[in-house]
Structure 1
């Protein structure tokens, strides 16, 4: 295997690992998921450019008599990129002690304020700055508000 093949193989392992973490591991971390909210996709154009660049590399590899193994690796990177950008839905997962946003866990204790902008963007004011969250459906705001009002009336217990 060439250095290029090793780099492509490394990217495949990283992308596949991220996909498994996002779909299977993250929903099970920090307790049971109380509320699952789909988010708006933001990186469609960036992903399209990335897949187009991989398609160019794939074309160049095939026309210049490149190794078939490199072709398979490029196809795998393109398929994983399409899955992560267009098939997988970004999500906001609320847990008993906090929530996952962009694969980062944010404890409820860090939230100082919660606001809604005129364009329907939910903004959590954290101790380290603001966290804007663009929801896929505006109706999900009611579910989030209900969750936080329920949390204020009865404290959620930590479960492991």
Structure 2
């Protein structure tokens, strides 16, 4: 196994660990999930560029008669990238005492103010940072508000 194959395998393992954590472990952390809200995808162009670059690497490996292991690893990495960036939907998990935005835990006590922008993005102001929560369906904003009011 070459260094390239080892790095690709390491990247695949990292993607797999993130997927397992996001889908299986995160919903069970910090108590039961009260509300699960689908979010809009961001960075579509970046992920598309990454997938296209992987496909170029795959094509180059096949064209130059590279090893079968490298070809298989690149195909698995392409599949996982498509699944993580395009098929899987990002989500907001609201718990009893806080929420998971991405994979970051945010306690409700850290939220100092909330505003709603004109294009339907919920802006939560924390101590030193703003969260921009773009939901897929505008009805979810009311459900988020109701859950936050019940928690306080």
**TM-score interval, smaller chain:** over 0.9
Instruction: Indicate the SS of the match to 2:4.
Output: helix
| Cα displacement string for residues 69-96 of structure 1 (whole angstroms, at most 9, x for unaligned residues) | 0000000110000000111110000011
Relative to the length of structure 1, the TM-score reads 0.92
Instruction: Indicate the SS of the match to 1:92.
Output: strand
CA RMSD across the alignment: 0.8
For residues 147 and 37 of structure 1, the distance between their equivalents in structure 2, rounded to whole angstroms, comes to 11
Q: How many residues align?
A: 152
CA contact (8 A) 2:97 2:151 kept: no
Alignment partner of 1:126 is 2:126: yes
Q: Which residue of structure 2 aligns with residue 116 of structure 1?
A: 116
Moved more, 91-100 or 141-150: 141-150
Q: Which residue of structure 2 aligns with residue 72 of structure 1?
A: 72
- How far is 1:65 from its partner? 1.1
Structure 1 runs (4+) greater than 3 angstroms displaced: none
Q: Which residue of structure 2 aligns with residue 13 of structure 1?
A: 13
For residues 62 and 145 of structure 2, the distance between their equivalents in structure 1, rounded to whole angstroms, comes to 54
Alignment partner of 1:49 is 2:32: no
Relative to the length of structure 2, the TM-score reads 0.97
| Cα displacement string for residues 76-120 of structure 1 (whole angstroms, at most 9, x for unaligned residues) | 110000000111110000011100001100001101111101111
